[in-house]
Structure 1
Amino acid sequence: MPDVIKTYVRFVDTFNRRVGLFAMYLIFAMFAILLYSSVSKAFHLPANWTLESAQFTMAAYYMLGGAFAMQTGDHVRMDLFYGTWSVRKRAIFDTVTAVALIVFLGFMLYGGITSTTYAIQFKEKSFTAWAPYMAPIKIVMTFGVLMMLAQAISSLFKDIAELRGRPIA
């Protein structure tokens, strides 16, 4: 594989690993928000922002961690036949599915960009009592889709290199 592709793969893998490791800690932020929500309800304190904040934190958690999960193979895979296949056959199958995933993520990215643009342009707010602006979470989610797209392209390059008999380490 050309050096530019190897550099791309290493950069994307390193970047997604770092962001994914950061995103893992968002679960603690979500727990803290939900704990505060429980305590505030026990003392009859108004906290109408807690549920939606926890939802936003969870969305950031799984969107920013998606590329890392893809990279480490922690995503769901039907392993009924896959585990018994040869390395070459797995690489062929992974190449085909990576192309389908790239197309899907391309549409997701387009939708994310248009939705985020709308949220910024019209200062979109949530339809709840707290009514937070939607742009920040939409930006994070769109960035997460972009990271997954970059990781899918990285995986495609690695699968093609595997098929050529020269894996990218």
Structure 2
Amino acid sequence: MHGYIRIVDAVNLRVGRVMMYGIFALMAILLWSSISKAFFVPSLWTLEMAQFVMVAYYILGGPYSVQLGSNVRMDLFYGDWSPKKKAWFDLFTICLLIFYLCVLLYGAVSSTAYSLGYWGSEPFSYLGGLVTGAEELGRLERSSTAWRPYLWPIKAVIVLGMFLMLLQCISEFFKDYLRIKGEAI
């Protein structure tokens, strides 16, 4: 458990630290959007690209937020509890979150497979087949806006973010379990 916690926390720490600078990319895109609307021909890509950057910023920064414990909590009762009681409560709630993330991950994988041109009911095997070369890309999904970007890159980012969040939640589960046992983390 300690090795798993160490590896997952290190990966999410690095990804989270890189994603902290995503806000500057978002600001640059929105600044260009404002400048181009005021002085030039408005750019078609800026608003949608800003949305994509914001999704990546939020989804890939989420596991880092969970790791730091900076997520929003209702401390009406929780703040006065002992560390062991907090660990029991967190252990229970993290199980609910892991279930929810599994459902979200399945939906994200299905949506990504759809964006790559797959209309079947086995998205995991399709994506595995793409990696091994057994499957081929279908008609790639595009946005319905004037810019019409492909949607699979942002959907792949969402899959990666959901997967990293799931790994981080399992790490938090292990941390709470070790706290209950009285072991050092």
Interval of TM-score (by shorter of Structure 1 and Structure 2): over 0.9
**What residue is the counterpart of 2:182 in the other structure?**
165
What is the correspondence of 1:21-32 to structure 2 with a 5 Å cutoff? 21-32=17-28
Q: What is the TM-score when the length of structure 1 is the normalising length?
A: 0.95
Task: For residues 102-142 of structure 1, give each alpha carbon's deviation from its aligned partner in whole angstroms, at most 9, with x where no partner exists.
Answer: 00000000001010011112311111110110000000011
Q: What is the TM-score when the length of structure 2 is the normalising length?
A: 0.87
The Cα RMSD (Å) is 0.7
Match of 2:105, SS?
helix
Contact 1:158 1:167 in 2 (8 A): no
Q: How far has the Cα of 1:22 moved from its partner?
A: 0.4
The 1-side partners of 2:184 and 2:84 are apart by 11
Match of 2:93, SS?
helix
- Within the alignment, does 1:109 sit opposite 2:105 as a pair? yes
Give, as a single letter, the amino acid of the residue that structure 2 aligns with 1:17.
L
The 1-side partners of 2:40 and 2:181 are apart by 65
Contact 2:33 2:42 in 1 (8 A): no
The 2-side partners of 1:13 and 1:61 are apart by 18
**What residue is the counterpart of 1:129 in the other structure?**
146
Match of 1:36, SS?
helix
What is the correspondence of 1:23-102 to structure 2 with a 5 Å cutoff? 23-102=19-98
Gaps of 5+ in 1: none
Structure 1 consecutive aligned stretches of length 4 or more whose deviation exceeds 2 Å: none
Identity %: 52
Q: How far has the Cα of 1:6 moved from its partner?
A: 1.0
Residue of structure 2 aligned with 1:15, choices 6, 11, 18:
11
The 1-side partners of 2:92 and 2:35 are apart by 50
Number of residue pairs aligned between Structure 1 and Structure 2: 164
**What residue is the counterpart of 1:156 in the other structure?**
173
**What residue is the counterpart of 1:119 in the other structure?**
115
The 2-side partners of 1:30 and 1:151 are apart by 25
